[in-house]
Amino acid sequence: MRVCPRKARVAGRSGSRRRGGAPSLATSRPAARVAGLVAAALATAVAPAPGAAQSEPTVTNVTASFLTGPYTSLSVHPSDSQRVAIGTFDGHVLWSEDAGHTSDTAQALVFRRFDPIVIRSGQRAQFSVRGESELDEVLANHLRRLGDAADDIGRPDERSILLFLALLGQGMQAARWQLWMAAPDSIPEIGAIAWPPGDGPMLMAAPTGILLSDQSRRSWHRVLGGPGPMPRERDLIGLSVGIDPVDPKHMLAATDRGVMVSTTGGYTWSRHPDKALEDTWITRVVWDPDNPQLVFMVSPDAIYLSQDGGRRFEPSFAAEGEIRDLSLSPDAAVVATSDGMQVATSEGILPLLDGKDLVGAVPWRDGLFLAATTEELYLVAPDGSFRSILRTTPSDPYMRLAGNPRTAWLLSRYNILRIGDAVPRGSVFRAPPPRMLLSFGEFERAVLARAGQLDPDSTRLHARARAKLLPQLTARIGGTLGRSDQNRRDEIVLPGQIWQTAASAWDRTHWSIFAEWDLQEIVLGTRDNVSNPNLIIESQIRDKRDQLIQQTRTQYRECAALVADLRRPPADPEVEIAWRMRLEELASYLEWMSGRRVVERTPVEDLKLVE
């Protein structure tokens, strides 16, 4: 991730060849002479150098206007690039109709963790019943049901169910993970989203199926896919969707079972008649907004084209690398692949950025192109020269680039970047600019110290050898208090008799101290004992630590970027308020996690309007 993503204008760099720019096509790829000639002709005709000021892209980070990521998908309205929809990893659909100034949010999918808490209140609540007789009954019922359903769902490992029930019956804590619990969690990730031509319902592809929104887009329901919230092995997976730009009732949905088509606005679906698409993994459905007869289906291996509104598809393109995305402009098709990009015009093919593993490419202004890898955004000229204009980090990779010369959008895992018009600056509020108070290192140490995980050794669960040098100490004290008496009559000396009477009492006290050392623990320890359950717990704690670091790092970076950006606040007060709210959100989270004050800032409610 770049340090200051909201810079109104990304500084241009010259000397792109030094940064690894591809040499001219005619010399580097003799095999593609024909294409190269076309490219050369095009380049001389329309291409200015990529550093030309009038086409310099202005990159604006508009993440602050949206719900926090991580994000999973981005879809731009085919005919209005100011409208953008974003999917998140946790089931939210976010969309903006005004180029990211403001946004709307809807929760389309809800994450459900498959854990014992859910089990107690869910379908497996029966297993939490305690008491021997009840358990026997529950188990018998359960096994009977399994037998009935075995043909459909397969028989699970009953031994583990028996073990779990036995543990429950004895009131013992069951293991943290049992085989019969090994159902996967629900996957609320949002995949591709399709915009309708007007204000109608949206369509969405997700791992849990195909979902359709209502008119308001606030409510979503599944129209294709498995019935339950938990994924099952044979459930349908949604891959991509598209809506006819003229007839919003005509929809296409690519799934792992082939392409489905609806002519009823998503309420009923039938399998697409074209057999060629049955076993094809379609990652993108692109409907030409200007000519709805043209529909493109993008798969990693080929692009299928329909010229009759999606009835019949023909393979129309394949590339050396894996095809990643397709972008249309009125006079060109731009294909991003794992081996560069190919620009198709009526005059020929123009291969560019040879060897670059791209996630997307779009036409830009003045005959230039924008292309993105997971790490960099490039401005590309038709003559093959290019330069990097933005760079990110491996933890925040770019995932999609889409749009048109008016506005392009670049999505990374945690950021939404708009490429287009600059944000007018000049605040209507009177407030000092915010300031970061902690460096990155100080902040991270504070977070880990507060979580008690600063030292990796402190999260180690196996017993320390030095701890075992201290013994288990046992002190014991006890006593006995007793008495006895004896009466004895001896008859042998009759007529005179002998009587003996004896009485005794005693009081004994004893004490002892034991010290025990476990030499096995001291000498060998339990570090390498793979059956030690602590190792699993320890690994979980380490994972948590990594997640904590990653989470807080991302938020810190975004916070620092916002602080830098708010030195020149946007002129629109609503946008500035949204940005300051996001700053407040990030700062309050970071300050809680670190226990330190991280950002010096003016709370939104204390801003004073300039009179």
In the complex with another protein, the residue whose CB is nearer, 477 or 523, is: 477
HSE-CB at 111 with a 13 A cutoff on CA atoms is: 12
Measured CA to CA, the distance from residue 221 to residue 583 in angstroms comes to: 34
Number of residues interacting with another protein: please give it, by CB under 8 A.
123
Q: Shortest distance, CB of residue 371 to another protein, whole angstroms?
A: 17
Among 225, 383, 572, 599, contact with another protein (rule: CB under 8 A): 572
Question: What is the biggest distance separating any 2 CA atoms in the chain, rounded to whole angstroms?
Answer: 152
Looking at residue 533, its amino acid is P
Contacts to another protein from residues 101-120, by CB under 8 A? 101-102, 105
Element spanning 194, H or E? strand 193-194
Q: Shortest distance, CB of residue 306 to another protein, whole angstroms?
A: 10
Going residue by residue from 581 to 610, which x/- string records binding to another protein, judged by CB under 8 A?
xx-xx--xx--xx-x--------xxxx-x-
Assess 420 for contact with another protein (CB under 8 A): yes
| Beta strand 71-76 pairing with 84-88 | antiparallel
Reduced 3-state DSSP string for 300-354: CCEEEEECCCCCCCEEEEECCCCEEEEEEECCEEEEEEECEEEEEECCEEEEECC
Assess 319 for contact with another protein (CB under 8 A): yes
How far, in Å, are 281, 362, 371, 428, 461 from residue 337 at the CA level?
16, 12, 10, 45, 47
Among 497, 529, 539, 550, contact with another protein (rule: CB under 8 A): 497
Assess 579 for contact with another protein (CB under 8 A): no
SS3 content of the chain, % helix, strand, coil (to 5): 25, 30, 40
Query: Hey, what's the torsion of the CAs at 39, 16, 396, 218, to 10 degrees?
Result: -50
Assess 289 for contact with another protein (CB under 8 A): yes
Contacts to another protein from residues 195-234, by CB under 8 A? 216, 218
Q: Shortest distance, CB of residue 127 to another protein, whole angstroms?
A: 24
In the complex with another protein, the residue whose CB is nearer, 129 or 469, is: 469
Partnered with residue 341 across adjacent β-strands are 336, 352
Among 324, 468, 553, 557, contact with another protein (rule: CB under 8 A): 468
Among 141, 293, 529, 539, contact with another protein (rule: CB under 8 A): 293
Going residue by residue from 23 to 42, which x/- string records binding to another protein, judged by CB under 8 A?
------x-xx-xx-------
Among 27, 466, 530, 531, contact with another protein (rule: CB under 8 A): 466
Contacts to another protein from residues 343-402, by CB under 8 A? 344-346, 348-349, 351, 365-366
Contact by Cβ (8 Å): 423, 60 = yes
How far, in Å, are 159, 164, 229, 250, 552 from residue 131 at the CA level?
19, 13, 31, 57, 46
Contacts to another protein from residues 232-261, by CB under 8 A? none
Contacts to another protein from residues 61-80, by CB under 8 A? 67-68, 79
In the complex with another protein, the residue whose CB is nearer, 160 or 551, is: 551
Contact by Cβ (8 Å): 285, 251 = no
